[in-house]
Each structure stands twice: as structure tokens, then as C-alpha cells.
Structure 1
Amino acid sequence: MLLAGSAAAQNPATCTQNCPAPYVPNEFWTTEYGPAAANIVLSPTNFLACSSTSYALCYYSGPDAAPKKKRGVAALPSLPCTISAEDANIADCRCYAESGNSYVDIHSIRNTEAYIETVRVCGLNGEKCRNLASDELPGRIASATGATPPTLPTAPVCDYLQADASGKAPMAPDAELVSTFSFARAKSYGVQQTDCPNAAPYAGCMTASCTVERDGKGKPTGFANCRCPIYTGPYQIGQAGASCSAGDGNVWSAAYAPPSTGSGHSGK
């Protein structure tokens, strides 16, 4: 089901007290290209700007083997996305655990109430809230015109990323942290992509539920374990020169920016 025109047309109950609301999986086709699990990117404004004490970065996850070490760059870890033995529609992905500023793709919000609230405030493409474009452009606009752009509100979905007193983030009942996108590891991996135009399974990790990875003594390792839905379609990988195959039993954490959108990159 494609959510066309406005989320208000669906007239669902809206969270007005005791928010965030209980978790209900988002079954909407959030764009004509697929549901939230497809991680579709149509515009830079789709990436809503948030800040949280912790989030998972699955942008580089996929094969069992770590990427080859580049000159001047420290060795990179293994970040596999393994198809679950219990559920072939889920990938268990090892991701970085980060904190601070990150971005949520508005089309990939897997919590129904968070999605409805966010679309109503931010618009279907996120342009009415702080986003990747609005965070980058104000300085340029002010320099060129002498005018200060209006301040945009923070998207409601950002409230669903913060863990509550129970240690769980409201995005989903079992989420210690939530998978979003950032440039935190761009120096190590670069910003180029690999396009995989043939439809194949991939993990749509944006807003997936994650737990903190801990060592034998219970200490956080700096990584997270995320359960990402698997979707089949064309996609882009967040690394240059990568094979579109992540290896037997594995899938890439990926997203899809249709060629005509000119979005420049995709996140997950």
C-alpha cells in the first residue's frame, strides 16, 4: 500500500500523550519503490537530522571478510550481515556503535507511529524538518545572500532513538540502540558507492533494532548487533569497488536511490 499525498489521509490515531506510542510495524509502501524495509532514498531532504547518545552505523556491513587495508588507514573490522537461520527474511548484522549526530531516512522508519508523526510534521520527503540538506546549506545561503535561513524543527522520529529508563529505545521493544546513518567512518571507507542494478536480496538496516555487543566481561566492544529486514531489489553499497555479492549466507546492508532522483548517495 503506497502512502500517497499525505499521511493524514489515513487518519490513524496520533500520539498526543504518553508518547512515544507503542510499537506497530510500518507496513506502508512509503514510496512507489517499496516499503520501509527497502530503504529508498529520493532526496537529501529524506535524511532527517537527529542527535542521540548512541546509534548503530550499519552502512559498511555485509561480507564476513574485512575490507582490505588502505594506505594510511587503520585495519578495518569484519562486519558481517548473516542471513538468520531462524528467519530467512532477517539478517543479523554486526555494525559500528556510535554516538552524536546521525540521519534517519524518512522513507525507512519502521515504527508506524513514528512514521506518521514524522510525515505530518516534516512532509513526505522531510523538507520541513532539519535534514541533510538544511544542515549543509545555511552557511552557503547566508554567505551568498546575507540572509539567515529559517530554523527548521527537529523531526519527531528523533525522540524514538533515545533509550528510556529501561535502557530500550522506543523505536522497537527490543532496541538498545537504533540503526541510522552518519559520516562518522567516511575517512576510513571513503564516500564512493558501488551500484548493483540487478535485483537481489539486501539488508535494509535503517531504523533496525540493535543491541550493544559486549565482550566476555560485559564491557561494550564499540560494535552493535542489529536485526535488519531483507528486501529484494536493486541497491547501492556504501563502498567503492565492492562485489555485489556479500558471499554465501550473507547480504549487504544497502539502500536504493533510483537513478532519476540524483540524490548523490544512499544511507542505511
Structure 2
Amino acid sequence: MKTILAAVTLALSLCLLPASPAAANDLPPPRSDSWTVPTQFLACTGNAYALCYYSGPEIATPSHRYSDPPVMPCELDPDNLGAAKCTCYAVDGESEVPDGQQLGLEFRFNYVLLTSILNEDVRKETQETCGPLGKKCLNMINLNKCSEAKFKPDECKQADVCSMLGSARDNRKQTLYPDLAEVDLISTFSFAHISEHSFGSTSCDSGLYAGCMTAPCKTDEDGLTTCQCPTFTGPYQVGQRSPRLKELGLGCDISPNVWSAANHIKPPSE
């Protein structure tokens, strides 16, 4: 468990400094996938989802020579200004727990970033229910406190947005975009496929990137999925380690493609 928490803290730069509600609300628009504290990642389970965390270039980004992940490009959409078509993983259920980490609850969930729910009405309702920092709902940080032995009703309620992602068990479709019947999956974050890529964080000063959190996706014939991700210009972090990307000849600028990325804004200490 300590290994998991250390990896999460290092790779995602999970800042545990206190943040005020005002600071949490004073963020760039949802399309930027900006966040301040890891409690804003609301924990969901039981739903199929898309994982765009490793999407971007026209080449695969394996963690080692023996790793063989698919190529998952993010290409600017010529027919939709301000959007990118990103090829992403299609995940049917909970992430596989790596060997030696059988107690890792973090691997058994996927996560919706509270501040980046693209459906405005759902985002506002979720912020009211879970609080601007997500602390009133099940989230990436309070999973262990919410085990059966330590269950705390005021902190352990799964956010309503989770039920809108659909259900893998009974094949129930998503309802986050009720007017888009052709949408099969919703893009979220998880630790799935972590061993195939060099999971980590590479900071980029500024540039155009795709913010894929809660983006609508259509399943492809090859078992992957294509998501329509909004784009944003600003500082961001790629979810893979810089030394490995350099070995692959990659950096922040992969134009004409863009990275699927997010922006961690560290809150001021109080």
C-alpha cells in the first residue's frame, strides 16, 4: 500500500496542502482539466470507461522495450474548432491490481475530476453535493477510510455522476449526455495499463493540449475508443515520465498532434 501511495503522490504531484473553496473554484474552464487537490478525483466503480491518459503522439509510448501498447494519437479535429479526436483505451471494468499490491484500493476504481465535468448542470450539482474539494464524496484519498470497517456515511457516498457513466454489469449506457445516443463511453482517469507506459508526470510550460476528462467517446472495432476532447492552451502535465519520452524522441510539442493532459494548480498554503 505504501508503494501505491508513493507512486500516486510522485506521478500526479498530489499536493496535500490545504485549499480554500474560493481557490478551488477560481480555476481555468473545465475543458482545461485543471485541479488543485487529489480529493477532487471522485471515485467510481462498476462502469466501463475510456482512458485517454496516455494518448497523444503518432507512435506508441511503451514503458520498456518488451511493452507493446497500441498507438493512440490525438489529432486536431478539422471539422470541430477547439477539439481533438483522441484514440484511447476502452476499459470494461476495474483496473487489474499489479502483483504485490493486492490491497491497492486505488486500482479498483476510476475517477471523475470534479472540476472538469463537461456537462455544466451535472458539474454544478456535483460541486454542491461533494463540495468544491470533493471531500464530501468518495474520492481518491478517502478510499481506505471508507472501507467496510471504517465506513463514514458523510464522507463515503459515491458521487451521483458515477451513476451517469453507465454500468458494465447490466450493459446500461451512459446518461451524462442524454441527447447523444451514439456515445458509448465516458473518458475518466484510472490506473489501468499503468505497467505498459512510463507512468509519471512531465511538466510543459504552455501549449495546446486536449482535456479529455468526461469527454464523450465511441467504441472502435479494434477494442479502443475515439473521444471528442476539447482543447485548451496553457501550462499542463503529460502523464508519462520525461526521461522515457526523451528516449522515444518525444517532448511537449508533438504537433500537429496534441497530448491528452491536465493542469495541476498547486493551492497556496494557509
TM-score of the two chains, using structure 1 as the length reference? 0.75
After superposition, residues 140-179 of structure 1 pair within 5 angstroms as 148=150, 150-151=152-153, 152-162=156-166, 168-172=173-177, 173-174=179-180, 175-179=183-187
Match of 2:110, SS state, is strand
Contact 1:246/1:252 (<8 A) preserved: yes
> For 1:122-143, what per-residue CA distance to the aligned partner results, in whole angstroms no more than 9, with x for missing partners?
001101000000114567xx9x
The number of equivalent residue pairs is 222
Aligned to 2:200: 192
The alignment status of 1:236 with 2:240, answered yes or no, reads no
Judged with a 3 Å threshold, the aligned counterparts in structure 2 of structure 1 residues 107 and 150 are, in CA distance, closer, same or farther, namely same
Distance 1:31 1:63, change over 3 A: farther
CA contact (8 A) 1:83 1:91 kept: yes
1:47 aligns with 2:48: no
Taking the aligned partners of 2:209 and 2:172, their CA distance within structure 1 comes to 29
Q: Deviations over 1:178-202 (max 9, x none)?
A: 00000011122243110002x2111
CA distance in 2, matches of 1:247, 1:148: 48
**Native 8 Å contact 1:56 1:97 kept in 2:** yes
Which ranges of structure 2 fall in alignment gaps of 5 or more residues? 1-19, 95-108, 246-250
State the identity %: 36
**Which amino acid in the other structure matches residue 26 of structure 2?**
E
2:85 corresponds in structure 1 to 92
Residue 122 to residue 224, structure 1, CA distance change in 2 (3 Å): same
Deviation at 1:246, TM superposition (A): 2.0
TM-aligned CA distance change 1:51 to 1:84, over 3 Å = same
Q: TM-score, normalised by structure 2?
A: 0.74
* Residue aligned with 2:127, SS: helix
Moved more, 186-195 or 235-244: 186-195
Report the RMSD for the aligned CA atoms in angstroms.
Answer: 2.8
1:239-259: CA deviation from partner (whole Å, max 9, x where unpaired): 1123101232x1100000024
